[in-house]
Amino acid sequence: MARVLPSHGRSQRFKSSIAHFLFMYKQLFDPKKIELNVDDIVLIPDFRDKKYYRNLKNKAFKRISLIGNDVLIFENFALITGFLGYPNLLLTLEFIKNIKQKNIFFLGTGGTLKKGIKVPCSLNVVKICSSSILKLFSKKKSLNLNDFVLGNLKKVKGVSVDLIQRETKKWLRKQLIEGIDVVDMELFPLRVYLKKPFYALIVSTDIVTPEGIEPFFDNDLIKKEFVKSYELIKRYIDEKKDNTN
């Protein structure tokens, strides 16, 4: 008598599992990329003024949900928001076709290391340095960013960390010696990923001291500075577009 193979149903389930694995493998490691037909992209981890952002969503020509993040498409640019930290950000960007050929604007929040900055304010990051494990991302310790000339914002030097727990007394002393003004969690990895400078505005939300992180509690001023920076970026993009037409 011939040997009987497992039931047809079990065989089909096995084939289905293999097909599902291959599909997921392709989705993760060779994702289908979406095309954004704009030259400029604004990256915002978390839009601090939620009411203002709701109005923005309503004005967008098109909205796309991309691995948990919002992609809002306007006439002259696209806005990507909702990511937290560089792993989520870089994974999201891998789904965008020709992302490294786009003009990138980053608007986020960070902590100031200098006592001279005592209230929430918008800062123009023109150089970003690595710290802790992020030093493995590049042989270069610091990388230049574009100078955002609109708005006459204070130019600063930043440092990126992978975890807020890195911000110890010893770490702070070292950063102050190296002239660091502000700390964030995305800029250095993003600069390495793009392989080119981009524009980066950071709204200070706290100050890092030897005693710990002291938040700025004026949330209304933080939201005001955030909206001001966003509108400066939008104005820059719109004016550039008008000048090329």
Quote the pLDDT of residue 49: 95
On whether residue 23 sits in a domain, the answer given is: no
Quote the pLDDT of residue 17: 55
On whether residue 24 sits in a domain, the answer given is: no
> Which of 10-14, 41-45, 105-109, 165-169 shows the lowest mean pLDDT across its residues?
10-14
Q: Quick check: 157 pLDDT over 60?
A: yes
Percentage of the chain modeled with pLDDT above 70 = 87
Quote the pLDDT of residue 243: 80
Domain encompassing residue 72: 38-244
pLDDT digits (tens, 9 = 90+) for 46-97: 999 999 999 999 999 999 999 889 999 999 999 999 998 899 999 999 999 9
Quote the pLDDT of residue 244: 75
pLDDT digits (tens, 9 = 90+) for 85-137: 899 999 999 999 999 999 999 999 999 998 888 889 999 999 999 999 999 99
Cα angle 81, 71, 104 (rounded to 5 degrees) comes to: 70
Q: Quick check: 13 pLDDT over 90?
A: no
Quote the pLDDT of residue 81: 97
pLDDT digits (tens, 9 = 90+) for 172-200: 999 999 999 999 999 999 999 999 999 99
Q: How far apart are alpha carbons 174 and 44 in whole angstroms?
A: 28
Distances (CA, A) of 199 to 33, 110, 124, 180: 24, 15, 8, 18
Quote the pLDDT of residue 160: 96
On whether residue 20 sits in a domain, the answer given is: no
Quote the pLDDT of residue 26: 57
Residue type, 234: K
Residues 6+ apart with CB under 8 A from 107: 42, 43, 44, 200, 201, 202, 203, 226, 229, 230, 233
Partner residues linked to 206 by β-bridges: 111, 215
- Residue 97's CATH number: 3.40.50.1580
Q: How far apart are alpha carbons 111 and 164 in whole angstroms?
A: 10
Q: Confidence band (pLDDT; 50, 70, 90) for 1?
A: very low
The DSSP H or E segment spanning 63 is: strand 62-66
b (16+ CB within 10 A) / e for 7-28: eeeeeeeeeeeeeeeeeeeeee
On whether residue 22 sits in a domain, the answer given is: no
Number of domains in the chain: 1
Task: Yes or no: say if 65 and 58 are a contact pair by the CB < 8 Å rule.
Answer: no
The arithmetic mean of pLDDT across residues 224-245, rounded, is 91
The arithmetic mean of pLDDT across residues 36-52, rounded, is 96
pTM equals 0.86
On whether residue 21 sits in a domain, the answer given is: no
On whether residue 215 sits in a domain, the answer given is: yes
Task: Yes or no: say if 191 and 97 are a contact pair by the CB < 8 Å rule.
Answer: no
Q: Confidence band (pLDDT; 50, 70, 90) for 241?
A: confident
On whether residue 2 sits in a domain, the answer given is: no
On whether residue 19 sits in a domain, the answer given is: no
